Structure 1
């Protein structure tokens, strides 16, 4: 394994690149054109409704609202006017009744009007990140709080799945959908970060980062930093896969070949090899799904693919519920073997 030198630790690890390159102003938010134009108008007038940001992870939802808050209030009033909560950690009704309600009910100081080039409107801002994790009771209590203190407080609800936000909250907010970033946009951003950090990012490395991250810019930047810390400036796609603990295709190919042999002993050995190499079972399930549906499933019938994919879903659920990894992967291998033999 590569050793991490103290110099690399102090230079690269002190500041996560996700924070270092987070947009500081609304103008720096990349490629969410409709959202930025609307928020720029709100910034000029100081008139901001309740907001609901939704879309896939890593598309800039939290970064956008924090950049807007900095543009609205400036560094002097930011801490006193903005409350940021991660609702996945504080998801119960008690948080709404205490922390959120107490902050929302605070009177706003008279320091309104433009200050140091910032509008400083006469209200506070509460940002609820990952709000789709909040319980139904907590969301109902939040709706009442939004109604009561709307004159002095604005809310920004940030979530991945808008369907998990109750109707009374969603109807009180201006909704903004954050689109997944295109590969060209991600390529440009990752290359720019590499240049600023003093190394040239090969297109194959950027492509590997985008593939592993699944279009999540935050995950891609974090993985780029981790790979750089581990291996230095000379990066390649294999090193990216190693830093991300992604299974090589050969592991999945060997497992499917063992299942094709109609020998449970060979399938069992292939499963144990994956476990002994330290790869997470969840990662195997995710990659095997892509492999079977994609290039690895050319010799399988549609019915066999459907059986395997259904079992992959059941295995993923069992693993999420805390089931034993070895038993679940052995069960997956046995079902895969039956499906292949039936094709």
Structure 2
């Protein structure tokens, strides 16, 4: 009540401007929607004061950073102690050997005057660190184990040197299931008064790939662009091809002659602004569920994967579109022969 109206307005507007990803980031371990086994192990480590060095790995948006930040706040008893006892570094920005030798070494080597307990150093996106920095970090982890713990977070564990992996307890964060995402998505949509249909929910779940960050970003961007969040509005916002358009392309590739199938594909890409790589991804999903002879399916997928590889290197989409039609024409011929 004592806060002036101007200040109240300022606080309210700053909360509104926050991205959903940050606004609804779990603040406690209990708020996390997945990975109950990992959370229970971490809770035991914290309650028994026996936290080891940690290595979290898995796809983006699966809760790796949220989990360690929530665990650290539980360990230190709140945000105030967390800010002085934990060092959070994004290894993509500061990933050189100088950062390891100076910033990390200085933080790990000093003791806090009023806060007891071990310090925590969180290295996000550690797979972007250079090998020299990782080797330097190996020595620092050993040297400062008495008063500091390290948590490395990465998407690709193969990019972390074996010497660092062996010093950490590893936890794999798998993509979230549709049920786990659905509950949180509906909860956020309700809190934000979003007018979302069942089709909109299913579309967001289909496009998410188990990535909660992508779910919330897609929800927010669609809510800002359209009054009603339905299947069409979600696909238009994301830029992903509409399922009905993919069905049209698939039907054309399996039934029309080369010229007509090519025209349909290129017209669809140019008028709707679809990327050939996105069409390939959706076609792969459809093709693998169809009952095709094994040899035909293998040949079709091999041809599509070659096109996808060439597209990744920036080749012309129209030429690759013609190649895609050719792959399907060849598959149709093989089916007739079989």
TM-score interval, normalised by the smaller of the two chains: 0.7 to 0.9
Q: Is residue 325 of structure 1 aligned with residue 317 of structure 2? A: yes
1:175 alignment partner, SS class: strand
The correspondence for 2:250, drawn from 232, 256, 266, is 256
2:229 alignment partner, SS class: coil
Q: Is residue 207 of structure 1 aligned with residue 210 of structure 2? A: no
The correspondence for 1:52, drawn from 27, 51, 55, is 55
2:215 alignment partner, SS class: helix
Counterpart position of 1:85: 89
1:71, distance to aligned residue in structure 2 (A): 2.7
TM-aligned CA distance change 1:206 to 1:254, over 3 Å: closer
Q: After superposition, what is the alpha-carbon deviation per residue over 1:252-298, rounded to whole angstroms, capped at 9, x for unaligned?
A: 3343344335633223313322331211222112111112112xx34
Q: Is residue 32 of structure 1 aligned with residue 24 of structure 2? A: no
**Structure 2 residue ranges without an equivalent (≥5):** 1-12
1:327 alignment partner, SS class: helix
CA contact (8 A) 2:198 2:230 kept: no
CA contact (8 A) 1:247 1:283 kept: yes
CA distance in 2, matches of 1:110, 1:290: 58
1:11, distance to aligned residue in structure 2 (A): 8.9
2:302 alignment partner, SS class: helix
**RMSD between aligned residues:** 2.6
Q: Is residue 303 of structure 1 aligned with residue 288 of structure 2? A: no
Q: After superposition, what is the alpha-carbon deviation per residue over 1:188-245, rounded to whole angstroms, capped at 9, x for unaligned?
A: 111111111124644432222111111211111111111111112x222222122211
1:173, distance to aligned residue in structure 2 (A): 1.0
TM-aligned CA distance change 1:98 to 1:312, over 3 Å: farther
2:33 alignment partner, SS class: coil
Counterpart position of 1:76: 80
TM-aligned CA distance change 1:103 to 1:310, over 3 Å: farther
- Bigger Cα displacement from structure 2, 153-162 vs 39-48: 39-48
Counterpart position of 2:230: 236
Q: Is residue 196 of structure 1 aligned with residue 221 of structure 2? A: no
CA distance in 2, matches of 1:55, 1:291: 26
CA contact (8 A) 2:201 2:230 kept: no
The correspondence for 1:122, drawn from 114, 118, 121, is 118
1:67 alignment partner, SS class: helix
CA distance in 2, matches of 1:49, 1:245: 43
Give the TM-score normalised by structure 2: 0.84
CA distance in 1, matches of 2:15, 2:49: 38
- Bigger Cα displacement from structure 2, 80-89 vs 142-151: 80-89
Give the TM-score normalised by structure 1: 0.83
CA contact (8 A) 1:191 1:200 kept: no
The correspondence for 2:281, drawn from 279, 286, 292, is 286
TM-aligned CA distance change 1:270 to 1:179, over 3 Å: same
TM-aligned CA distance change 1:154 to 1:145, over 3 Å: same
Counterpart position of 1:267: 261
TM-aligned CA distance change 1:139 to 1:332, over 3 Å: farther
CA contact (8 A) 1:12 1:229 kept: no
**Structure 1 residue ranges without an equivalent (≥5):** 1-9, 114-120
TM-aligned CA distance change 1:281 to 1:80, over 3 Å: farther
Counterpart position of 2:129: 134
CA contact (8 A) 1:84 1:127 kept: yes
CA distance in 1, matches of 2:92, 2:334: 44
**Residues paired across the two proteins, number:** 321
The correspondence for 1:161, drawn from 153, 156, 163, is 156
- What does 1:104-123 correspond to in 2, within 5 Å? 104-105=108-109, 107-113=110-116, 121-123=117-119
CA distance in 2, matches of 1:179, 1:100: 29
